[in-house]
């Protein structure tokens, strides 16, 4: 896939990804933008207006989190498909979260910020492709089941503050994935689905780097402001995060990502 010739700045390219509703076209667009940036075909320019919400396909139906149907026990194929569909939706939204972060806030950071988050965006697209392919191997596909729209609420809540976005999306939501994914992997292994377990292990390895990108640039920005990173993080989480920060924590994976206990221990409920 190639970008329209009229798109020559990175901000406009990011908006293009977000305004692409079809899942396959969006993941291919994400790859094309990341490649164009890497090859030097996009100017480091952020003059495009980022959409308030990304374009979405007709399916899946988006429900409030509290109205999502129960998945059932992981032993059934139906429950495994439901779990994979939920994960695929998270990765689909994560594509837009990465490109919105670049297009909305990239001008506030050095060029390396865009370098790193472009890689994140391309990897989120790859994760979505892996999960959708696995769903198809199991006789389903992305869009076959409903999904919840809670993830984008975090983007809307933090649309005006780069530090709040970094604190909530990579450093709370993606960090939570580091906590729960090992148990999810074990559940798939326990029913003999080693193909899915191996895929989730690969995704988790990448997600450690994604959380690390959040903590790296959060610390860079707070250092510039002259504020203490952990305290500022806690203030932003209390202000902008609607949920709770719950143990148990995967302290080892979080530490690998630079998200040490001094950030989150005081928030635990």
- 48 three-class SS: coil
Res 191: pLDDT: 93
pLDDT at residue 113 in the model: 98
Q: Which residues of the chain have pLDDT under 70?
A: 72-73
> 148: which strand partners?
63
- Global pTM reads 0.96
| Selection from 115, 113, 120, 114 nearest residue 96 by Cα | 120
The Cα–Cα gap between 97 and 91 comes to: 9
CA 206 – CA 210 distance, rounded (Å): 7
Burial 219-255 (b: 16+ CB within 10 A, else e): bebbeeeeeebbebbbebbeebbeeebeeebbbebbe
CA dist 106 and 118 (Å) reads 11
Measured between alpha carbons, how far is 210 from 177 in angstroms, rounded to an integer?
11
The pLDDT value recorded for residue 102 is 98
Output the pLDDT for position 119.
98
Nearest to 243 by CA among 140, 160, 150, 170: 150
Predicted confidence at residue 149, as pLDDT, reads 83
DSSP code at position 41: -
How would DSSP label each residue in 5-32?
TT--BHHHHHHHHHT--SHHHHHHHHHH
């Amino acid at each position: 896939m190639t970008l329209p010739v009229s798109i020559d700045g990175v901000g406009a390219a990011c908006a293009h990804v977000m305004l692409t509703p079809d899942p396959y076209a969006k993941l291919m667009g994400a790859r094309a933008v990341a490649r164009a940036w890497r090859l030097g075909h996009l100017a480091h320019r952020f003059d495009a207006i980022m959409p308030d919400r990304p374009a979405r396909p007709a399916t899946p139906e988006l429900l409030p989190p509290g109205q999502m149907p129960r998945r059932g026990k992981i032993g059934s194929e139906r429950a495994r498909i439901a779990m994979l569909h939920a994960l695929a939706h998270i990765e689909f939204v994560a594509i837009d979260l990465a490109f919105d972060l670049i297009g909305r806030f990239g001008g506030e950071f050095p060029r390396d910020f865009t370098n790193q988050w472009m890689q994140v965006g391309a990897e989120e697209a790859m994760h979505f492709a892996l999960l959708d392919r696995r769903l198809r191997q199991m006789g389903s596909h992305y869009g076959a089941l409903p999904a919840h729209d809670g993830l984008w609420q975090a983007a809307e809540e933090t649309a005006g503050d780069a530090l709040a976005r970094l604190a909530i999306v990579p450093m709370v939501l993606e960090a939570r994935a580091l906590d729960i994914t090992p148990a999810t992997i074990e559940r798939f292994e326990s029913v003999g689905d080693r193909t899915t377990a191996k895929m989730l292990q690969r995704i988790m390895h990448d997600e450690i780097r994604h959380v690390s990108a959040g903590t790296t640039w959060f610390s860079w920005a707070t250092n510039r402001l002259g504020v203490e990173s952990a305290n500022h993080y806690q203030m932003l989480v209390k202000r902008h995060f609607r949920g709770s920060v719950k143990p148990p924590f995967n302290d080892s994976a979080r530490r690998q990502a630079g998200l040490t206990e001094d950030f989150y221990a005081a928030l635990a409920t």
